[in-house]
Amino acid sequence: MPIETPHTKHTNVAIWLFLSLLTFHLAITRGHFVSSDEVNLYQITQSLWERGSLAINPILATFPGRDGLYYSQYSVGQALAAVPLYAVGSRVGEWLSANGHTDWLQALAGPVIAIPNNPSKWGGEIEIFFVNLFNCFTTAMLCTVFFLLCYRLGASLRNAALTALLVGTLSYMAPYSVGFFRHTSEALFVLSAFYFLVCERQQARASTRALAGLMLALALLFRQPAALTWPVLSAYMAWLIWQRHRPVGWRGMIGALLRDGWPFAVPMLLGLIIHVAIVYWKFETFPGPYMVWGGDQMFGTPLLVGLYGFLFSPGASLFLFTPLLVLLPWTLSHGLKKNRTEAVVLIGLTISYLLVYSKLTDWHGLYAYGPRYLGPLMVLLMLPLAAWFDSQTRQQWWYLTPLLLLSFWMQLTHIAVNFSYTLLVVGYDTFRPRFGFMFIPDQAPVVFMSKALLSGDHRVDMWLLNLYRQFGFDYLWGPLLVFTAMLVFCCWRLYRNLYAK
């Protein structure tokens, strides 16, 4: 029997952690879209595969551009990355249809969800089902990178894995696996860039610097606002170079930056060039018309209003939607003692996210459940939790029980309940003052999402549940048995690797 080294052990844990979380998130998928943002991205994916074009229907968040056609305002990265899933869905649909399995074709596609005389579809196509699985993979990968980074920062193997599991199940980003929003991809690439920079600090290599730059470039190409992380992470890279060489004077520092920094900077520059080129190709201008259209209205919220909303409001408080962040004063202070520089980087990223998004006119990210623009930040702020767990006794863990229970309920409402359906039932779109419900406790989305979950009506919207509603237990037991068996096996293998001698 081969001897398991520390390196192979944490690699094996990472593999089984990824597979466990992937299986879990595949099992809880919704199977269709709930937001026009998702439909917009899906239509880009569809257009790329079917026509080799970026042009889509004139729907929300599109503008006229080249040849008089309409193009999305969003970055194309995620839509392009989802093309293989669209292709698989298309081929599976053809095979099911050709072999007389139209019942399973309908089971996967689900009922048609559309607005009459509107080119948008939220469900009813098997390709939508498969494309909607994209974030199951990115969420599992995000948690795997999170585990590796916690381990790199000195947390024990078990608590690094435990914290990654908490991110994948009880953090605000976990429910985003059931949809096609881009925030999970943004979090994955920003966290990966941070991971490679920490690797660079521990062992300087041009390859790790290049990978860090590549991750930041991909973050931009998947979601343009991710560029707000560039200054802080670039400053961290510059600090690492200064620490290594201790150059004398500005000339010495510039020389060191040029010698060691180019592998980091070149991928970012190429990513920026590609982004500008795509925007220019679509709209024949840069910046795109959506930037001009936003203009002075883009940052119209008073800073203190946005900050209050993100910190204390019942509609978007990051402490409500990820209750474990209540521990931040203790976890971050512990992080400042253990990994001072990396804790300062987290503080810098926090300031960047809060200052930019608190001023945004649509700071709340509606209509979506919770502070989705801060989703990547919430993952980053959970990093110090793993090392803090190492400092706690077993008796002290009982104090976490209320936070864990609240976290479970918050994420369950997010995963199980369709916010768009709840929005229509409650009438948030006609609420006055507009978005005022974000600050009124008994009118906040969490209240009505909880009521919807307890009611068990059509607003409780998950693929397995809808499969049972539409076809009965005869169709449910097969997928349920497969997911249960896979999840039990993967979790057992994860446990065995964590507790192997």
Residue 242 sits in the same domain as residue 117: no
* Chosen domain end from 418, 453, 486: 418
Tens digits of per-residue pLDDT, 4-52? 444 667 899 999 999 999 999 999 999 999 999 999 999 999 999 999 9
By three-state DSSP, how is residue 411 classified? helix
In-domain check, residue 11:
no
Let me know if residue 17 belongs to a domain.
Answer: no
Q: Which of 320, 335, 317 is nearest to 388 (CA)?
A: 335
DSSP 397: G
Cβ-proximal residues to 397 (8 Å cutoff; 6+ apart), any chain: none
**Can you tell me whether residue 348 is helix, strand or coil?**
helix
Length, in residues, of the chain: 501
Asked if 268 and 157 sit in the same domain, the reply is yes
pTM score above 0.75: yes
How many Å apart are CA 113 and CA 129, to the nearest integer?
A: 12
Average pLDDT over residues 456-471: 94
Would residue 486 count as lying in a domain? no
* Least reliable range by pLDDT among 31-35, 237-241, 242-246, 383-387: 242-246
In a domain, 42, yes or no: yes
Per-residue pLDDT tens for 309-359? 999 999 999 999 999 999 999 999 999 999 999 999 999 999 999 999 999
Same domain, 108 and 252: no
CA distance linking residue 315 with residue 493, whole number of Å: 39
pLDDT number for residue 291:
63
Beta-sheet strand order (sheet of 70-72): 55-56, 70-72, 62-64
Count of structural domains within the chain: 2
Decide if 316 is inside a domain.
yes
**Which tens digits make up the pLDDT trace of 416-441?**
999 999 888 888 888 888 889 999 99
User: What are 37's two structure tokens?
Assistant: 């943002």
pLDDT, the chain, mean: 93
Q: Is residue 426 part of a domain?
A: no
**Within a domain: residue 472?**
no
Asked if 110 and 167 sit in the same domain, the reply is no
Q: Say if 169 falls within a structural domain.
A: yes
Domain's final residue, options 73, 106, 131:
131
Task: Judge if 92 and 188 occupy the same domain.
Answer: no
The pLDDT of residue 410: 97
Q: Are residues 191 and 73 both part of a single domain? A: no
Question: What is the token pair recorded at 339?
Answer: 């990994």
Whether residue 46 sits in one domain with residue 169: no
pLDDT of 258 higher than 50: yes
Least confident range from 101-115, 437-451, 473-487: namely: 101-115
Place of tokens 């220019």: 280
Query: Are 165 and 102 members of one domain?
Result: no
Q: Do 195 and 291 sit in the same domain of this protein?
A: yes
Distances (CA, A) of 166 to 140, 273, 317, 449: 12, 37, 19, 22
End-of-domain residue from the set 350, 384, 418? 418
For tokens 């869905």, name the residue: 89
Please check whether residues 283 and 179 belong to one and the same domain. yes
Q: Are residues 394 and 307 in the same domain?
A: yes
The domain containing residue 352 runs over which residues? 148-418
Q: 116 and 252 share a domain?
A: no
Q: What is the DSSP string of 257-274?
A: HHHHHHHHHHHHHHHHHH
Whole-angstrom distance, CA of residue 469 vs CA of residue 387: 44
How distant, in Å, are the alpha carbons of 92, 247, 250, 316 from that of 242?
54, 7, 11, 39
**171 with 193: CB under 8 angstroms?**
no
